[in-house]
Amino acid sequence: MNKTANYELTIIIPVYNEQDNMERLENTLSNYIKESSVKCCALFVNDGSKDDSLNLIKKACNENNDFLYISLSKNSGLSAAMKAGIDVAESKYVGYMDADMQTDVRDFETLLKYAQQYKLVMGIRANRKDSAFKLMQSKIANSFRRMMTHDGATDTGCPLKIIHSDYAKRIPFFTGMHRFLPALIKLQDGGTFYEVPVRHYPREAGVSKYNLWNRLISPFKDCFAFRWMAHRYINYNIGDSNL
């Protein structure tokens, strides 16, 4: 049996070349899982890391019963890593956080307060600790996304999210999908989302995987892909069955 079925929440953590953050990440997750208001596990998704991340993930899983992992055969990008985690998770909820330690796993408790009421609960990075250049790029990209999708979301780049697993598994995934989760949830019948402020910290270790291209240029292109897909999205509900 898939071990994630034993939990109410599976926290998916995509990892790509984050060996310098793994010890802090392991300790923080381990402490949170012990005090979480729901039974939860951590699911590391190694996205073809070229450093020692995979070995450190395996070591952490051997030392923590509530740690699980899958490893992609090659680097496939954040959206693919998220999809892989969602595909294998069998818990009621799936959560998502980055491995860069710029958000606080304890803020999942804030998100969980609204998880029953909304299909997606997502953080807004309060008092963001990024450079002025990053903040400017993010502001431009978020404004353009809202104009194109009309999702009304404030900060889709915040990596702290909780989604009902049945809704998460119906999301049409594509490269750059992680930027459009509120809009993709709203495409589904009954799809609702809610935003709450969460803490944000400077990156202390490792190197950001984002640059001008994938923080600003790619999101512009992806908006047009979303618009094309949204007009062709199919909703259906099964009324009866003898399965």
- Number of other residues whose CB lies within 10 A of the CB of residue 57: 28
Q: What is the token pair recorded at 15?
A: 């990892």
Q: In percent, how much of the chain has pLDDT > 70?
A: 80
pLDDT at 6 over 90: yes
pLDDT at 150 over 70: no
How do beta strands 161-164 and 93-96 pair?
Answer: antiparallel
In a domain, 139, yes or no: no
Q: Give the chain's domain count.
A: 1
Q: Residue 14: give the domain boundaries.
A: 3-130+156-207
- The contacts of residue 202 (CB under 8 Å, 6+ apart) are 102, 129, 130
User: According to the model, what pLDDT value does residue 91 have?
Assistant: 98
Give the pLDDT band of residue 64 (cuts 50, 70, 90): very high
pLDDT at 122 over 70: yes
Q: What is the mean pLDDT of the chain?
A: 85
In a domain, 202, yes or no: yes
Q: What are phi and psi of 168, to 5 degrees?
A: -60, -40
Q: What are phi and psi of 125, to 5 degrees?
A: -70, 105
Give the pLDDT band of residue 131 (cuts 50, 70, 90): low
In a domain, 8, yes or no: yes
In a domain, 181, yes or no: yes
Q: What is the token pair recorded at 75?
A: 């680097």
For residues 183 and 131, the model is more confident at: 183
For residues 145 and 115, the model is more confident at: 115
Beta-bridged to residue 197, according to DSSP, are 124
| pLDDT tens, residue by residue, 163-176 | 999 999 998 877 77
CA distance 71 to 95: 18
- Describe the crossing of helices 218-230 and 132-149 by its angle, rounded to 10 degrees: 20
Tell me which amino acid residue 189 is.
D
User: According to the model, what pLDDT value does residue 211 have?
Assistant: 47
Give the pLDDT band of residue 147 (cuts 50, 70, 90): low
Q: Lowest mean pLDDT: which of 48-57, 126-135, 150-159, 197-206?
A: 126-135
Closest to 83 in 3D by CA, of 198, 181, 215: 181
CATH code of the domain in which 59 resides: 3.90.550.10
What is each CA distance from 29 to 70, 130, 145, in whole angstroms? 17, 23, 32
Q: What is the token pair recorded at 109?
A: 């408790």
Question: Looking at residues 119-134, what average pLDDT do you find?
Answer: 74
| pLDDT tens, residue by residue, 192-238 | 999 999 987 766 775 555 544 455 566 667 777 777 777 777 777 77
For residues 112 and 225, the model is more confident at: 112
- Describe the crossing of helices 53-63 and 22-35 by its angle, rounded to 10 degrees: 30
In a domain, 106, yes or no: yes
CA distance 116 to 118: 6
**What pTM was computed for the model?**
0.82
Beta-bridged to residue 125, according to DSSP, are 198
User: According to the model, what pLDDT value does residue 201 have?
Assistant: 78
**Which residue is listed with tokens 């208001």?**
37
In a domain, 34, yes or no: yes
In a domain, 143, yes or no: no
In a domain, 136, yes or no: no
Q: Lowest mean pLDDT: which of 117-121, 134-138, 202-206?
A: 134-138
For residues 241 and 21, the model is more confident at: 21
User: According to the model, what pLDDT value does residue 7 have?
Assistant: 98
